[in-house]
Structure 1
């Protein structure tokens, strides 16, 4: 049951629940859908949604449904970590995109998932399961494995000891096998994932470090299975990851740390 139905919830928390009801998979919602997703009574949802519209946090479309407003988007761009990462990463992503003509994406860890901060996509490239702002599982995506392998011990154990959904026949769901793969990723700094999240998509991903050696993001190239050899793609991805890390202040010799 959504937490908004619990007694004692503040108005602020209910407003946030309404905003967080919007996702990359559901960017346009009706009032009924917002009420259902948050657990708020319809009259309460209507009153709070209209307040959000009046402040510009939400916009009302001609068909009566709602979308995230321009003012809220502008606020989101002020988040220092994500915006600086996106800005600094774009030249490296553009180079990878130009050289390989495949999907190039940048992701960070949030909770038990990877969140895509930026992506450049080739029109003819393989279809992907998520868009910018979308989420990917940590255990079976390229960026996810890089981020998980360098995550704190508590998050690492939480994911490995929890359910590991099987997305394709090639998804690794055995915790011992996954621990070995993640240990190798932590040592090398890169992951190669073949058809574990989507049958016809392979991924090559590498870590991005800040000046203190913490892995703050993962950079990857995703391509149709069989269209490229990962060993050919890998050097360019690693070079771009190191270049972006240098822009963030990392230098060779700074030890790599878990987040």
Structure 2
């Protein structure tokens, strides 16, 4: 990752520190935060300490840092997630009771997957996902659904960009990824195995608004060894259709700002 230009104002420095977590990493040490933010270690140490004191960041016992509950509470009020989460939770709870697997709800933001809600049980496969985290589009069940139904400019920006490997079966070839998302459009669902996390498999389905546009994706994440993804499809697609009816009746998405357009014009 290229180091960014150093921010000048105090507000810019604070925003750069918080933006260091935008890639979805759950925990970062101080050196990595400062590297990503383009800040000297002493400056970063002082500002990170103030953010911890204010509850915007939390210091973990191992010395790393993560997003704090105060920042999460503020962010969770964003219009992109509030109404959608409220509509989705009953359907996600029903889906969890039917499968006892991880249930995730996500939207497309800035060429990434933004996780807006998740349910995880004690018997579910461990996943790193947290509410508010961002994930790659090309490695996740929800991501492939969102990518398949995104505007062409968004798809092309992702296909033209870097496709980092996260697990043994991550698709890193643009042509193969294009075929994969075309298959999602034909079938109406996505499937992944060992693409984001070794040992985890997922199946994803689209959530549509009143105009038929895909505004979110719902997924189940299970263990690769025991996952029967075709068995998980009926309850998942039933929940996605039910949520789509509620979304069509009660919620309107904010249009996705095409970061792809900014990159294309750069």
For the criterion TM > 0.5, the same-fold answer is yes
Q: Which shows bigger deviation, 144-153 or 126-135?
A: 126-135
Q: How does 1:151-170 map to 2 (within 5 A)?
A: 151-170=150-169
> TM-score under structure 1 normalisation?
0.79
**Superposed CA offset, 1:3-36 (max 9, x none):** 3516xx4443222112223466455765x66544
Q: Corresponding residue for 1:172?
A: 171
For residues 142 and 107 of structure 1, the distance between their equivalents in structure 2, rounded to whole angstroms, comes to 10
So what's the TM-score if we normalise by structure 2?
A: 0.78
Counterpart position of 1:3:
4
1:245 aligns with 2:239: no
Does the C-alpha gap of structure 1 residues 132 and 71 become closer, same or farther in structure 2, counting only changes over 3 Å?
A: closer
Match of 1:127 in 2: 126
Q: C-alpha displacement at 1:92, in angstroms? A: 0.7
CA contact (8 A) 1:4 1:14 kept: no
Contact 2:4 2:36 in 1 (8 A): no
Does the Cα contact within 8 Å between 2:107 and 2:215 map onto a contact in 1? Answer: yes
Shift in Å, 1:123: 1.7
**Which has more radius of gyration?**
1
Query: SS where residue 130 of structure 1 aligns?
Result: coil
Pick which of 35-44 and 142-151 moved more. 35-44
Q: Do structure 1's residue 12 and structure 2's residue 14 form an aligned pair? A: no
Taking a change above 3 Å as real, the CA distance of residues 99 and 175 of structure 1, as seen in their structure-2 partners, is same
Partners of 2:170 and 2:184 in 1: how far apart?
16
Q: Which runs of 5 or more residues in structure 1 are unaligned?
A: 252-257
Write out per-residue CA displacement over residues 57-101 of structure 1, whole angstroms, 9 at most, x where no aligned residue: 457899998765554333212201212222211111101110101
Alignment of 1:162-201 (within 5 A): 162-201=161-200
Question: CA offset at residue 214 of structure 1?
Answer: 2.2
| 1:82-161 aligned within 5 A | 82-161=81-160
Query: What stretches of structure 2 of length at least 5 have no aligned partner?
Result: 251-255, 259-266
Distance 1:67 1:232 in 2: 36
- Could you tell me how far apart the structure 2 residues matched to 1:56 and 1:199 are? 33
RMSD: 3.3
